[in-house]
Amino acid sequence: MSKTAKKKGRVFVGLSGGVDSSVAAALLKEQGYDVAGVFMRFWGEAGHRENGCCSASAEAAARLVAAKISMPFYVLDVEKEFKKKVVDYFLRELKAGRTPNPCVVCNPQIKFGLFLKYALKMGADYIATGHYAKIKKAVKNAKPVCKLLAAKDNKKDQSYFLVGLKQRQLNKIIFPLGDYPKSEIYNLAMQWRLPYRQGESFDICFIDDYQQFLKKYLKMKPGEIISPTGYKLGQHQGLSLYTIGQRVSIGGPGPFYLIKKDVKKNILYVSNNEKDLLQKGMQVGEINWLSGQSPKLPLKCAVKIRYGSEAAEAIVAQQGSQVSVIFEKPQRAITPGQIAVFYKGEWVLGGGVIE
């Protein structure tokens, strides 16, 4: 790596010890930034498994990477805030019969919220992470604006998880990996001999066994499983253990799919007809438009209803404090509590919570 590049500014990199954040830090150093690594300690149950992104071994790997790159290393303890803002939110939503996405809450409040405040206080000009996404500076109505774009590597793109970010955050963030395919990241790590931690981070970083975690923190109340016509098919073990679209075992001819939850009556509705999972539209609340203001509605755009799903063409229109989304083609298993993200090409317009 170059040692003579002119410094462009001070950047604090969220360093997890994994290959992505390690290469992100090395790339910034190579580009001439004054780089420091910051490891964030999140909340985890005592004795739970070695979490991919915030375990003791992850911290040790992050320290080794920082030493290899010759940059300062700091530890930011956000366990208390993470428990309150992410874990407690996750449990509240599940208790209400919804299926939350904790990463979409963690990013604006913790990874790009508390971390950004800490970095600026410590004298940083920017923060950076190993997320696969891009930020482009533009001008809208004679005012500068930061656009969030999908990454070049479609399979690794993480722009969906960043839909909660604000302009003040986007203006201070650098995503070094946005134009790189994952394969090239591994090549760079090998070229620079970075001692990164092997393996990928887990989907929900604070959970080992999903069902055991929920049974420990939420009171499970068994209830009836009923067909759309009202026929009793069996008994469930607690609404929070199930999500829309999943297969539900009832011991009879199937497969049966969960199509609806009735929280008040503690009932799961299932069907052996997958067409019952299809919906033409949905309501979306708690909208965040990344530009800072709503585009002109109604608007034709592509909408993702979950991470990993294909974006589907739809019309988004204002409906009170929420928006309505009407798809060109019915979508499978639209799930309350999940995040809907609106795209115009590779540009992330905004998104919100599916009602």
The answer to whether residue 205 is catalytic is yes
Q: How confident is the model at residue 201 (pLDDT cuts 50, 70, 90)?
A: low
Identify whether the C-beta of residue 301 lies closer than 8 Å to the C-beta of residue 289: no
Q: Is residue 207 part of a domain?
A: no
Asked if residue 228 is part of any domain, the answer here is yes
User: Cα 246 vs. chain centroid, distance in angstroms?
Assistant: 21
Same domain, 132 and 235: no
- Domain region containing 110: 10-191
The pLDDT score that the predictor gives to residue 203 is: 65
**Is residue 268 in some structural domain?**
yes
> How many C-beta neighbours within 10 Å does residue 94 have?
20
Same-domain check for residues 263 and 285: no
Q: Residue 241's domain is classified under what CATH number?
A: 2.30.30.280
Looking at the fold, whether 184 and 90 belong to one and the same domain comes out as yes
Residue the block writes with tokens 């950004």: 116
337 and 241: one domain?
no
Residue 206 lies in a domain: no
Average pLDDT score over residue span 272-291: 97
Q: What ranges make up the beta strands (E) of 126-212?
A: 126-128, 133-140, 143-150, 173-174
* Residue 139, pLDDT above cutoff 90: no
DSSP 277: G
Q: Give pLDDT tens digits for 144-167.
A: 899 999 999 999 999 999 999 999
- Residues 144 and 229 reside in one and the same domain: no
Domain of residue 48, CATH code:
3.40.50.620
Q: Identify whether residues 251 and 281 lie together within a single domain.
A: no
Residue type, 261: K
- Residue 131: what residue type? H
Same domain, 234 and 160: no
Q: pLDDT tens for residues 290-347?
A: 999 999 999 999 999 999 899 999 999 999 999 999 999 999 999 999 999 999 999 9
Q: Domain tally for the chain?
A: 3
Q: Do residues 235 and 335 share a domain?
A: no
Higher pLDDT, 210 or 169: 169
13-23 pLDDT, tens per residue? 999 999 999 99
**Residue 33 in contact with residue 13, Cβ under 8 Å?**
no
Confidence of residue 48 (pLDDT cuts 50, 70, 90): low
Residues 59 and 141 in one domain: yes
Judge if 57 and 110 occupy the same domain: yes
Whether residue 176 is contained in a domain is answered as yes
204 domain residue, yes or no: no
Q: Which of 103, 146, 205, 301 is catalytic?
A: 205
Q: What is the pLDDT of residue 266?
A: 97
39-62: average pLDDT: 78
Task: Determine, yes or no, domain membership for 148.
Answer: yes
Flag whether 201 is in a domain.
no
**Active-site entry in 53, 103, 106, 146:** 106
- For residue 352, give the nearest of 280, 304, 281 by alpha carbon: 304
pLDDT at site 165: 98
Question: Strands, E, within the chain: which ranges?
Answer: 10-14, 34-41, 73-77, 126-128, 133-140, 143-150, 173-174, 223-226, 232-236, 247-248, 256-262, 267-271, 278-289, 299-304, 312-319, 322-332, 339-344, 347-354
**Confidence (pLDDT) at 4:** 43
State whether 51 and 100 are in the same domain.
yes
| Domain end marker among 272, 304, 336 | 272
87 with 146, same domain: the answer is yes
Quickly count: other Cβ atoms within 10 Å of residue 61's Cβ: 23
CATH number at residue 295: 2.40.30.10
Q: Percent helix, strand and coil across the chain, each rounded to 5?
A: 25, 30, 40
pLDDT band at 5 (very low <50, low <70, confident <90, very high): very low
pTM, full prediction = 0.93
Give residue 41's Cα distance to chain centre.
18
Average pLDDT over residues 209-229: 93
> Which pLDDT tens digit goes with each residue over 75-104?
999 999 999 999 999 999 999 999 999 999
